[in-house]
Amino acid sequence: MSDVRVLVVDDQEPFRRAMTSVVEATEGFVVAGSATTGEEAVVATAALAPDLVLMDVHLPGMDGVEATRRLTAGADGPVVFLLSTYDEDEVDAAGCGATTYIPKGAFGSDRLSAEWHQADRVTGDG
Protein backbone atom coordinates (compact mmCIF):
# COMPACT_ATOMS: atom_id res chain seq x y z
CA MET A 1 0.00 0.00 0.00
CA SER A 2 1.34 3.42 -0.92
CA ASP A 3 1.41 6.29 1.53
CA VAL A 4 -1.59 8.57 1.88
CA ARG A 5 -0.65 11.90 0.28
CA VAL A 6 -1.86 14.83 2.40
CA LEU A 7 -2.35 18.51 1.56
CA VAL A 8 -2.23 20.74 4.66
CA VAL A 9 -4.34 23.94 4.42
CA ASP A 10 -4.21 26.62 7.12
CA ASP A 11 -3.54 30.35 7.01
CA GLN A 12 -1.63 30.32 10.31
CA GLU A 13 1.88 28.95 10.12
CA PRO A 14 1.94 27.49 13.67
CA PHE A 15 -1.11 25.35 12.82
CA ARG A 16 0.35 24.35 9.41
CA ARG A 17 3.55 23.28 11.17
CA ALA A 18 1.61 21.37 13.82
CA MET A 19 -0.55 19.54 11.25
CA THR A 20 2.53 18.80 9.13
CA SER A 21 4.29 17.35 12.18
CA VAL A 22 1.32 15.09 12.94
CA VAL A 23 1.19 13.85 9.34
CA GLU A 24 4.94 13.21 9.26
CA ALA A 25 4.78 11.34 12.58
CA THR A 26 1.91 9.11 11.42
CA GLU A 27 2.92 5.88 9.70
CA GLY A 28 1.56 5.61 6.17
CA PHE A 29 1.03 9.35 5.65
CA VAL A 30 3.20 11.89 3.80
CA VAL A 31 2.81 15.63 3.26
CA ALA A 32 2.28 16.35 -0.44
CA GLY A 33 2.14 20.11 0.01
CA SER A 34 0.53 23.01 1.84
CA ALA A 35 -1.66 26.01 1.12
CA THR A 36 -2.71 29.11 3.06
CA THR A 37 -6.05 29.99 1.39
CA GLY A 38 -9.06 28.22 -0.04
CA GLU A 39 -8.08 29.36 -3.52
CA GLU A 40 -4.56 27.95 -3.07
CA ALA A 41 -6.06 24.69 -1.79
CA VAL A 42 -8.14 24.28 -4.97
CA VAL A 43 -5.12 24.97 -7.20
CA ALA A 44 -2.78 22.76 -5.14
CA THR A 45 -5.29 19.89 -5.15
CA ALA A 46 -5.50 20.04 -8.94
CA ALA A 47 -1.70 20.09 -9.22
CA LEU A 48 -0.76 17.59 -6.49
CA ALA A 49 -3.76 15.19 -6.49
CA PRO A 50 -3.59 14.49 -2.73
CA ASP A 51 -5.59 11.61 -1.24
CA LEU A 52 -6.49 13.68 1.81
CA VAL A 53 -6.84 17.40 2.48
CA LEU A 54 -6.63 18.74 6.04
CA MET A 55 -8.67 21.94 5.66
CA ASP A 56 -8.90 24.78 8.16
CA VAL A 57 -12.45 26.16 8.32
CA HIS A 58 -11.44 29.83 8.60
CA LEU A 59 -9.29 31.02 5.72
CA PRO A 60 -8.90 34.45 4.12
CA GLY A 61 -10.89 34.85 0.90
CA MET A 62 -12.59 31.56 0.09
CA ASP A 63 -13.14 29.80 3.41
CA GLY A 64 -12.46 26.15 4.06
CA VAL A 65 -16.12 25.18 3.79
CA GLU A 66 -16.45 26.62 0.27
CA ALA A 67 -13.07 25.20 -0.78
CA THR A 68 -14.21 21.79 0.48
CA ARG A 69 -17.43 22.06 -1.57
CA ARG A 70 -15.34 22.69 -4.68
CA LEU A 71 -12.83 19.91 -3.97
CA THR A 72 -15.49 17.28 -3.29
CA ALA A 73 -17.85 18.26 -6.14
CA GLY A 74 -16.17 15.89 -8.60
CA ALA A 75 -16.22 12.11 -8.42
CA ASP A 76 -12.42 11.92 -8.16
CA GLY A 77 -12.00 14.57 -5.45
CA PRO A 78 -9.92 13.97 -2.34
CA VAL A 79 -11.15 13.06 1.12
CA VAL A 80 -11.37 16.26 3.18
CA PHE A 81 -11.12 16.55 6.96
CA LEU A 82 -12.16 19.97 8.27
CA LEU A 83 -10.22 21.33 11.24
CA SER A 84 -10.86 24.35 13.42
CA THR A 85 -10.89 25.53 17.00
CA TYR A 86 -14.69 25.24 17.16
CA ASP A 87 -16.53 22.45 18.96
CA GLU A 88 -17.56 19.56 16.74
CA ASP A 89 -21.28 20.41 16.90
CA GLU A 90 -20.63 23.92 15.54
CA VAL A 91 -19.43 22.81 12.09
CA ASP A 92 -21.53 21.14 9.38
CA ALA A 93 -18.83 18.99 7.83
CA ALA A 94 -21.19 16.71 5.92
CA GLY A 95 -23.06 19.67 4.44
CA CYS A 96 -20.01 20.77 2.44
CA GLY A 97 -18.74 17.31 1.49
CA ALA A 98 -16.12 16.88 4.20
CA THR A 99 -15.73 13.38 5.60
CA THR A 100 -15.32 14.56 9.18
CA TYR A 101 -14.57 17.52 11.42
CA ILE A 102 -11.74 17.38 13.94
CA PRO A 103 -11.15 20.10 16.55
CA LYS A 104 -7.52 21.25 16.27
CA GLY A 105 -6.99 20.45 19.94
CA ALA A 106 -7.97 16.81 19.31
CA PHE A 107 -5.88 16.33 16.15
CA GLY A 108 -3.06 13.83 16.50
CA SER A 109 -1.64 10.71 14.86
CA ASP A 110 -4.21 8.38 16.41
CA ARG A 111 -7.14 10.54 15.32
CA LEU A 112 -5.67 11.00 11.82
CA SER A 113 -5.27 7.24 11.36
CA ALA A 114 -8.67 6.40 12.83
CA GLU A 115 -10.55 8.97 10.74
CA TRP A 116 -8.70 7.94 7.56
CA HIS A 117 -9.52 4.27 8.09
CA GLN A 118 -13.15 5.17 8.77
CA ALA A 119 -13.25 7.29 5.60
CA ASP A 120 -11.53 4.55 3.62
CA ARG A 121 -14.26 2.08 4.63
CA VAL A 122 -16.98 4.56 3.70
CA THR A 123 -15.50 5.43 0.29
CA GLY A 124 -14.17 1.95 -0.47
CA ASP A 125 -11.04 3.40 -2.01
CA GLY A 126 -8.46 1.32 -0.43
Answer yes or no: is pLDDT of 3 > 50.
Answer: yes
* CB-based burial label for 122 (10 Å; 0-12, 13-18, 19+): exposed
Using only C-alpha atoms, what is the Rg of the chain? 13
pLDDT bucket at 93, cuts 50 / 70 / 90:
confident
Side chain identity, residue 101: Y
Residue 57 sits at the vertex; the CA angle it makes with 51 and 62, to the nearest 5 degrees, is: 90
Measure Cα distances from 28 to 111, 117, 123 in Å: 14, 11, 18
Task: Supply the pLDDT for residue 124.
Answer: 57
Q: Span 63-84, mean pLDDT?
A: 93
Q: Is the domain defined by 34-106 classed in CATH 3.40.50.2300?
A: yes
Provide the residue ranges of all domains of the chain, joining segments of one domain with +.
34-106
* CB-based burial label for 106 (10 Å; 0-12, 13-18, 19+): exposed
Task: Supply the pLDDT for residue 14.
Answer: 95
Q: Which strand (E) or helix (H) includes residue 61?
A: none
Tens of pLDDT, residues 14-54: 999 999 999 999 999 999 999 999 999 999 999 999 999 99
